[in-house]
């Protein structure tokens, strides 16, 4: 059975891998034949997220590449993470998967307009509530 899209792309930090990450990846893979995951590099985490990654970038890429739902996990820098047209040029996907909290934002409205001109879709996916890397860190610091 053919899936809705050929090549899908999403990006994230994926630090302290948890079931919310897995749910996202499995949802993405259910809609595309080939799934590429952009893993934000350590500089991005430090400078943009203002957090110190617990798991280093190369190990996060390795963990994701070990998952059967991931066809290719690659390290991405700030420019590729920030500018979805650069990501499109690099990875040649036909769908971008993003969290539904970005829907309707100025940044993503612009991206939707850019992608519409080249026939690329954006699928907004819900987050898994009740689990996050931040919550895991907080729980661990209380122990």
Cα 13 to Cα 17, 18, 120, 142: the distances in Å are 9, 12, 23, 23
pLDDT at 97: 96
Asked whether residue 83 is domain-assigned, the answer is yes
Q: Which residues of the chain have pLDDT under 70?
A: 1, 129-140, 143
Asked whether residue 112 is domain-assigned, the answer is no
Asked whether residue 114 is domain-assigned, the answer is no
Asked whether residue 30 is domain-assigned, the answer is yes
Asked whether residue 19 is domain-assigned, the answer is yes
Paired with 10 in beta bridges are 37
Is residue 140 exposed (0-12), middle (13-18) or buried (19+ Cβ within 10 Å)? Answer: exposed
Paired with 98 in beta bridges are 124
Boundaries of domain holding 27: 5-105+121-142
Asked whether residue 116 is domain-assigned, the answer is no
pLDDT at 138: 66
Structural domains in the chain (count): 1
Among 23, 61, 24, which residue's Cα sits nearest to residue 42?
61
| CATH code of the domain containing 23 | 3.40.50.620
Paired with 124 in beta bridges are 98
Asked whether residue 110 is domain-assigned, the answer is no
Q: What share of residues in the chain are helix, strand, coil (percent, to 5)?
A: 45, 20, 30
Asked whether residue 17 is domain-assigned, the answer is yes
pLDDT at 102: 84
Length of the chain: 143
Kindly report the number of other CB atoms within 10 A of residue 113's CB atom: 9
């Amino acid at each position: 059975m053919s899936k809705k899209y050929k090549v899908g792309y999403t990006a994230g930090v994926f630090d302290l891998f948890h079931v919310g990450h897995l749910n996202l990846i499995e949802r993405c893979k259910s809609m595309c034949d080939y799934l590429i995951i952009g893993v934000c590099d350590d500089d991005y985490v430090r400078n943009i997220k203002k957090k110190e990654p617990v798991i280093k970038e190369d190990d996060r890429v390795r963990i994701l590449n070990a998952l059967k739902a991931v066809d290719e996990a690659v390290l991405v820098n700030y420019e590729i993470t920030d500018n979805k047209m650069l990501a499109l040029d690099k990875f040649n996907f036909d769908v971008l998967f993003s969290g539904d909290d970005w829907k309707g934002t100025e940044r993503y409205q612009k991206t939707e307009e850019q992608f519409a001109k080249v026939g690329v879709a954006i699928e907004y996916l819900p987050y898994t509530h009740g689990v996050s890397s931040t919550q895991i860190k907080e729980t661990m610091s209380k122990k």
